[in-house]
C-alpha cells in the first residue's frame, strides 16, 4: 500500500504519533511519503524511519497564496497514493481540497474565538464535507464533526510510548528542586493559553495548612513563561517553572500527582506517561481526558479553582485515597495501546 501523510506545523505529540505510524507501516512493507514543512521533517527525521519526505510549506495561519500552492503540491504528490492521511485541521483541509476523500485525524480543538474561530469553522466544514474518514482524539470533537455532516467519524487510537526508566531517585529530584519536606505536584505542559495555567497559579495561591503546602513544579516552555513568572514572583507563589526538560520520568517519580488544569486536551501523552509510571492525576474534565484517566485520578470541571485545590489536598492528606489512585494509575497504564495497536487500527480505516 502507498500511504501519503500530510502534516502542518505539528506539535510534539502529533509528530511523534505520525513517526510511530511511519515506522510501523514501513516495517510491514508499505511505501510511505510524508509531506510537510521542512522544520517538521528536520524535527522528526521521517527519512531515517524509511519514508520519503517532501517539503511543502503548510503554515499554521491562513495565507491564500501559499495555501493554493500547498493544495496543488499535495494534489501532484499524492496522485499515485492509495491513501492520503492528513493530521491536524489545516493540513486536513488542504489535503481535502487537493484530493477528495482523505483520512483526516483531528488532534486539537479551538479554545479561542474571534477571527481565528471563524477561519477554524470554515476549515472544519471543508474537512467534514470532503474527508472520507475523520478520526478524532476526543468524543466532543467527534460529535462536532458529525453535526457538521462528516460521513464517517471514528475515534483515533493514539499509542502511548513506554517512558524510559527514571535515571535519578526521587530524593535527588527533591534536592535539585529544594523541595524540603513539601510534596511535589507536577505539571508537564507547554506554557500556552490552552493549558489553563492561570488555574494552576490560583490553586497554588492556597490557602494551605501551615506546613502542608505543596511545591508546584511545571516542566515546559512557551509564550506565557514571562507572564507566569511575573505573577509567581509578585505573589510569592510556591511554583517553580523549570522550562523544557528531558527527564519527565524522573520528575514523575518524585511527584505525588500530575496536575492538568487544561481548557481542552485530546489524548495527552503526558497523562498516559504519568499513568504508566503509577502517578495519579488531578485533571480537567474536558476533551479526551476522562476516557484516558478512568478511575486513576480525580476529574474537576475546568477552571474550578476550589475543587482543584480540594482534590490536591485530598491526595496529600488521605493516604488511602492516594494509594488507591496510584494502584489504579498503574493498572490504567498497563492498558494503554502501543504502536502496533495504532498501526493495526489505521490500516483498518485505510481498507474500509
pLDDT 10s digits, 185-225: 999 999 999 999 999 999 999 999 887 899 999 999 999 99
Angstrom CA distances, 262 to 14, 46, 78, 141, 191, stand at: 18, 30, 37, 16, 11
Going by their DSSP bridges, the two strands 83-87 and 103-106 should be labelled as parallel
Q: How far is CA 288 from the centre of its chain?
A: 10
Q: What pLDDT does 161 receive?
A: 80
| Digit-coded pLDDT (tens) for 60-104 | 777 888 899 999 999 999 999 999 999 999 999 999 999 989 999
Query: Is the confidence at residue 7, as pLDDT, over 80?
Result: yes
HEC assignment per residue over the chain? CEEEEEECCCCHHHHHHHHHHHHHHHHCCCEEEEEECHHHHHHHCHHHHCCEEEECCCCCCCCHHHHHHHHHHHHHHCCCCCEEEEECHHHHHHHHHHCCCCEEEECCCCCCCHHHHHHHHHHHHHHHHHCCEEEECCHHHHHHHHHCCCCCEEECCCCCCCCCCCCCCHHHHHHHHCCCCCCEEEEECCCCHHHCHHHHHHHHCCCCCCCCCCEEEEEECCCCHHHHHHHHHHHCCCEEEEECCCCHHHHHHHCCEEEECCCCCCCCHHHHHHHHCCCCEEEECCCCHHHHHCCCEEEECCCCHHHHHHHHHHHHHCHHHHHHHHHHHHHHHHCCCCHHHHHHHHHHHHCC
| Digit-coded pLDDT (tens) for 102-119 | 999 999 887 666 777 788
Q: How far is CA 91 from the centre of its chain?
A: 17
Percent of the chain at pLDDT > 90 equals 86
The per-residue pLDDT of the chain, averaged, comes to: 93
Q: What pLDDT does 230 receive?
A: 98
Q: pTM score, two decimals?
A: 0.87
**Span 295-301, average pLDDT:** 97
Tell which wins on pLDDT, 50 or 163: 50
Tell which wins on pLDDT, 340 or 64: 340
| Digit-coded pLDDT (tens) for 120-153 | 889 999 999 999 999 999 999 999 999 999 999 9
In this structure, what C-alpha cell is assigned to residue 49?
A: 524511519
Compute the radius of gyration of the chain from its Cα atoms.
21
Structural domains of the chain, ranges and CATH numbers in brackets: 2-159+338-350 (3.40.50.2000), 170-334 (3.40.50.2000)
Tell which wins on pLDDT, 225 or 160: 225
Distance between CA 92 and CA 127 in Å, rounded? 6
Q: Model confidence at 324, in pLDDT bands (50, 70, 90)?
A: very high
| Digit-coded pLDDT (tens) for 176-188 | 999 999 999 999 9
Tell which wins on pLDDT, 28 or 63: 28
Amino acid at each position: 500500500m502507498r500511504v501519503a501523510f500530510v502534516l502542518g506545523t505539528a506539535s510534539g505529540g502529533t509528530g511523534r504519533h505520525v513517526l510511530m505510524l511511519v515506522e510501523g507501516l514501513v516495517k510491514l512493507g508499505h511505501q510511505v511519503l510524508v509531506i510537510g514543512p521542512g522544520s517538521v521533517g528536520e524535527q522528526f527525521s521521517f527519512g531515517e524511519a524509511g519514508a520519503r519526505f517532501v517539503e511543502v510549506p503548510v503554515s499554521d495561519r491562513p495565507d491564500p497564496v501559499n495555501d493554493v500552492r500547498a493544495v496543488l503540491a499535495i494534489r501532484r504528490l499524492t496522485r499515485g497514493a492509495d491513501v492520503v492521511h492528513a493530521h491536524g485541521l489545516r493540513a486536513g483541509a488542504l489535503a481535502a481540497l487537493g484530493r477528495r476523500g482523505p483520512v483526516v485525524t483531528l488532534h486539537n480543538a479551538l479554545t479561542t474565538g474571534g477571527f481565528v474561530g471563524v477561519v477554524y469553522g470554515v476549515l472544519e466544514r471543508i474537512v467534514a464535507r470532503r474527508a472520507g474518514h475523520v478520526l478524532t482524539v476526543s468524543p466532543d470533537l467527534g460529535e462536532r464533526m458529525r453535526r457538521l455532516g462528516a460521513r464517517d467519524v471514528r475515534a483515533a487510537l493514539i499509542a502511548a510510548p513506554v517512558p524510559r526508566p527514571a535515571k535519578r531517585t526521587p530524593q535527588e529530584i527533591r534536592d535539585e528542586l529544594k523541595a524540603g519536606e513539601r510534596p511535589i505536584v507536577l505539571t508537564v505542559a507547554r506554557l500556552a493559553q490552552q493549558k489553563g495555567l492561570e488555574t494552576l497559579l490560583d490553586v497554588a495561591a492556597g490557602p494551605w495548612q501551615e506546613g502542608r503546602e505543596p511545591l508546584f513544579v511545571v516542566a515546559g516552555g512557551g509564550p506565557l513563561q514571562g507572564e507566569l513568572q511575573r505573577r509567581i514572583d509578585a505573589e510569592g507563589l510556591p511554583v517553580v517553572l523549570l522550562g523544557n526538560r528531558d527527564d519527565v520520568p524522573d520528575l514523575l517519580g518524585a511527584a505525588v500527582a500530575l496536575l492538568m488544569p487544561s481548557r481542552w486536551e485530546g489524548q495527552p501523552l503526558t497523562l498516559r506517561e504519568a499513568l504508566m509510571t503509577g502517578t495519579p492525576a488531578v485533571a480537567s474534565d474536558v476533551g479526551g481526558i476522562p476516557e484516558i484517566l478512568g478511575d486513576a485520578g480525580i476529574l474537576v470541571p475546568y477552571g474550578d479553582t476550589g475543587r482543584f485545590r480540594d482534590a490536591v489536598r485530598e491526595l496529600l492528606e488521605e493516604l488511602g485515597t492516594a494509594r488507591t489512585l496510584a494502584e489504579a494509575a498503574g493498572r490504567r497504564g498497563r492498558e494503554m495501546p502501543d504502536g502496533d495497536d495504532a498501526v493495526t487500527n489505521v490500516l483498518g480505516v485505510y481498507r474500509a
